[in-house]
Amino acid sequence: MRELLPSVTRLAVLINPEARMNTVDMVTDVQAAAAAVGLQVEVLSASTSSELETALASVVQKQAGALMITPDPLFLDRRAQIAILALYHEVPAIYVNRAFPEVGGLMSYGSDWTDTFRQVGVYCGRILKGEKPADLPVQQQTKFHFVINLKTAKALRLQIPPTLLALTDEVIE
């Protein structure tokens, strides 16, 4: 997002305050990363579909030049609504799941789910064969996908730099 919009000074981050994931740690990490590149962070909350509309409308009110959607089952389920609202409010948004650009979101950067599920299967197999879960090493994802939706970029009147396009794993036209 920084390479696409270098002049943006404020980033909105959408979270679900009722999420089971550790939202506080996620927000803290985003704020630290944003501060390192000179961005201010506006945290927006939504835990229902109607709150999504209010939260995305507030991105413009808070003068955020970009939006980051954190991982959450509600957001994934409502991805089309979020993508439409981001486009309606003319807010460039980045997501963690490629399913968002598939329905009209601007771009996503996240782990390769196929590889993640493969790793889970391998670990389940090892456990079923008798290995103790505590003896298995912790693994972190090593495969990530960067996807850009050029139709959405055009609708937002954004020019995707060739250097950014060169980094993509998939371009949706």
Cβ 148 vs Cβ 160: under 8 Å? yes
pLDDT digits (tens, 9 = 90+) for 13-38: 999 998 866 778 888 999 999 999 99
DSSP secondary structure letters along 54-95: HHHHHHHHTT-SEEEEPP-HHHHHTHHHHHHHHHHTT--EEE
Contact predicate 44/58, CB 8 Å = yes
Q: What is the rounded distance in angstroms from the CA atom of residue 81 to the CA atom of residue 2?
A: 24
Q: Residue 8 — pLDDT band, cuts 50, 70, 90?
A: very high
Q: What is the pLDDT of residue 117?
A: 85
CA distance 152 to 143: 25
127 CB contacts (<8 Å, ≥6 apart)? 133, 136
Please tell me the predicted confidence (pLDDT) of residue 19.
Answer: 82
pLDDT of residue 113: 79
The whole-model pTM stands at 0.85
| Residue 139 DSSP label | -
Give one word for 163, left, alpha or beta, with left for phi > 0 and alpha for psi -120 to 50. Answer: alpha
Residues 116-172 have pLDDT tens digits of 888 889 989 999 999 999 999 988 888 889 999 999 999 999 999 999 999 999 999
For residue 15, the model assigns a pLDDT of 94
> Residue 99: in which H helix or E strand, if any?
helix 99-102
Rounded to the nearest integer, the mean pLDDT of the chain is: 92
